[in-house]
């Protein structure tokens, strides 16, 4: 299906400026989840979702969001937008999946795990049917949160519904109209600004004003998930000096409490949770790996040390112990001004000042009070 965006080749010199796309539909499909991703999205500020809905961000089209909880419409009026998109009348459009995708084929006969709206015969339409029909024509499919990206909590041990991530459901080879795989923004819940920033970047690209998104091999935006938690953690220097927390509430490194930060890809410590506030380690919590495909099974029990932590902490304690002793010596030297080094410290200056006021100063014996001075 061709994209009717400004990306078509301009025919004349005067047409070189891309024609702005005025609005775009975003269809939000709810899977198996807790709606925490929706809440995180509402908390984003950089830009806020309201700015996108009002079309207030320069060069971004106004977003027509079709969200099952935020929409004013309901029933037929709500699902008509998706039907129009399937008929090619809403080009271009974006699909967002929140929550994991259940395997409806497990159900023998009638019944379903998740549905939204009804068909012409009054029968519930399964969420996976909407996804099957909307994904091929979408400019992009974005999975928000760890359930939608990798399966998350619904796909944990037991997994009654054979829950899976959107990429697993649509297949490794799925490509959108913009030739993109499923774009994955993981996190349980994700940082709202990570999601909105990804959407904004995508919309700039759809509108012809920005480059394509740089994604890693798992469809994660590289600039958001290219580094480990540990590399941006404000406790990293404690780790390096071999100084580990013995109890919660300590400002020291939490690897001793089971932090997975050294191997988890997430920007939480630097981006923080909401509007620059919070973030796991910043508020005393350790990383439990919630952005990773192996979450939660590969990270449980959460309160035990990660495998390998013993080796890394022991070597860090030995090397870090030597380093921190050397640093303490350097710090002692650097904590005095050159003036103090020459005069012997701050109190020398005090003697000089008192001397001027008439105190009897003998460098060998120190300060002697002038008889009568300060007796009051």
Q: Which residues bind ligand SF4 (CB under 6 A)?
A: 229-230, 233, 235-236, 239, 253-255, 259, 261-262, 281, 286-287
Tell which residue, 21, 16, 17, 15, has the closest CA to residue 3: 21
**CA-based radius of gyration for the chain:** 30
Q: Considering the complex, state which of residue 204 and residue 281 has its C-beta at the smaller distance from ligand SF4.
A: 281
What's the closest the beta carbon of residue 241 comes to ligand SF4, in angstroms?
Answer: 11
Phi, psi of 89 (to 5 degrees): -100, 5
- Residue nearest to ligand SF4 according to CB distances in the complex: 261
Q: Considering the complex, state which of residue 32 and residue 241 has its C-beta at the smaller distance from ligand SF4.
A: 241
Q: Considering the complex, state which of residue 312 and residue 352 has its C-beta at the smaller distance from ligand SF4.
A: 312
Q: Considering the complex, state which of residue 195 and residue 260 has its C-beta at the smaller distance from ligand SF4.
A: 260
What's the closest the beta carbon of residue 217 comes to ligand SF4, in angstroms?
Answer: 23
What's the closest the beta carbon of residue 171 comes to ligand SF4, in angstroms?
Answer: 34
Structure tokens at 262: 């050294």
What's the closest the beta carbon of residue 118 comes to ligand SF4, in angstroms?
Answer: 48
Q: Considering the complex, state which of residue 180 and residue 255 has its C-beta at the smaller distance from ligand SF4.
A: 255
Q: Considering the complex, state which of residue 67 and residue 286 has its C-beta at the smaller distance from ligand SF4.
A: 286
What's the closest the beta carbon of residue 214 comes to ligand SF4, in angstroms?
Answer: 24
Question: Judging by beta carbons within 10 Å of its beta carbon (0-12, 13-18, 19+), is residue 371 exposed, middle or buried?
Answer: exposed
What's the closest the beta carbon of residue 313 comes to ligand SF4, in angstroms?
Answer: 9
What's the closest the beta carbon of residue 156 comes to ligand SF4, in angstroms?
Answer: 23
What CA dihedral angle connects 89, 94, 98 and 101, to 10 degrees? 70
What's the closest the beta carbon of residue 247 comes to ligand SF4, in angstroms?
Answer: 14
Q: Considering the complex, state which of residue 29 and residue 288 has its C-beta at the smaller distance from ligand SF4.
A: 288
Sign, CA torsion 248/254/258/259: positive
Q: Considering the complex, state which of residue 323 and residue 367 has its C-beta at the smaller distance from ligand SF4.
A: 323
Q: Considering the complex, state which of residue 134 and residue 287 has its C-beta at the smaller distance from ligand SF4.
A: 287
The number of residues making up the chain comes to 376
Bridge partners of 118?
124
Do residues 69 and 59 lie in contact, with contact meaning Cβ atoms separated by under 8 Å?
A: no
What's the closest the beta carbon of residue 270 comes to ligand SF4, in angstroms?
Answer: 11
What's the closest the beta carbon of residue 299 comes to ligand SF4, in angstroms?
Answer: 13
Q: Considering the complex, state which of residue 100 and residue 243 has its C-beta at the smaller distance from ligand SF4.
A: 243
């Amino acid at each position: 299906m061709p994209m009717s965006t400004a990306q078509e080749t301009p025919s004349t010199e005067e047409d070189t400026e891309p024609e702005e796309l005025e609005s775009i539909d975003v269809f939000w499909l709810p899977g198996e989840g807790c709606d925490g991703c929706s809440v995180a999205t509402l908390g984003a500020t950089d830009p806020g979702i309201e700015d996108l809905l009002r079309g207030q961000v320069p060069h971004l089209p106004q977003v027509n969001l079709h969200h099952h909880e935020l929409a004013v419409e309901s029933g037929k009026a709500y699902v008509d937008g998706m039907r129009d998109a399937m008929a090619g009348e809403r080009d271009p459009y974006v699909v967002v999946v929140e929550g994991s995708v259940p395997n409806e084929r497990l159900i023998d006969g009638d019944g379903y795990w998740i549905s939204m709206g009804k068909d012409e015969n009054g029968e519930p339409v399964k969420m996976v049917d909407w996804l099957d029909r909307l994904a091929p024509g979408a400019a992009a499919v974005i999975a928000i949160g760890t359930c939608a990206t990798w399966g998350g909590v619904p796909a944990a041990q037991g997994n009654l519904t054979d829950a899976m991530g959107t990429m697993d459901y649509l297949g490794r080879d799925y490509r959108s109209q913009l030739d993109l795989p499923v774009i994955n923004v993981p996190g349980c819940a994700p940082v709202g600004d990570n999601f909105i920033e990804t959407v904004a970047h995508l919309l700039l690209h759809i509108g012809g004003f920005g480059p394509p998104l740089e994604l890693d091999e798992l469809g994660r935006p590289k600039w958001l998930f290219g580094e480990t938690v540990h590399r941006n953690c404000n406790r990293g220097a404690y780790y390096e000096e071999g100084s580990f927390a013995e109890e919660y509430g300590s400002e020291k490194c939490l690897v001793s409490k089971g932090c997975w930060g050294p191997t988890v890809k997430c920007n939480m410590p630097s981006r923080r949770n909401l509007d620059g506030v919070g973030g796991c380690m910043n508020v005393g919590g350790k990383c439990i790996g919630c952005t990773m495909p192996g979450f939660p099974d590969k990270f449980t029990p959460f309160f035990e040390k990660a495998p390998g932590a013993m080796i890394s902490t022991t070597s860090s304690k030995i090397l870090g112990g030597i380093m921190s002793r050397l640093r303490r010596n350097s710090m002692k030297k650097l904590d005095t001004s050159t003036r103090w080094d020459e005069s012997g410290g701050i109190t020398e200056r005090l003697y000089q000042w008192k001397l001027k006021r008439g105190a009897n100063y003998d460098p060998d014996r120190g300060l002697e009070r002038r008889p009568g001075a300060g007796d009051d």
